[in-house]
Amino acid sequence: MLNRRKFLAQTAGFAVLGLSLGKAAAGSLPGIDNASIRGSINAADLGVRPGALDDQSKAFARLLLDANDRDMPVFLPPGTYVVSNLSLPSRIRLSGVPGASRIVYG
């Protein structure tokens, strides 16, 4: 007789299989590493380098002004961005990877 415990034990394997197949399928898609939000400006494309140790305030300020003029959101790839003394225009929308895209005052 099939009880709830046996049923859950048997279906748990399907969940693990589904998760592993999903990661394998995502890894085979071209460009998945460089994916950004559609319709946004990628900060790396405009000279802002994630993970650079030097102050990137000038490049970041140009990026913000360009995004404000075009009224487009900005996508920050994973990394740390060292900036200082920036003024944010009124229509700026910043997005990044939670826990991996960090803006640090330097």
Higher-confidence position of 99 and 18? 99
Name the pTM for this structure.
Answer: 0.61
Q: Which two tokens stand for residue 8?
A: 């859950």
CA distances from 26 to 14, 77, 78, 100 (A): 18, 18, 18, 20
Token representation of residue 89: 């225009």
**What residue segments make up the domains of the chain, in order of their start?**
1-33, 41-105
Tokens of 63: 């990026």
- Tens of pLDDT, residues 71-104: 999 999 888 999 999 988 888 899 888 888 999 9
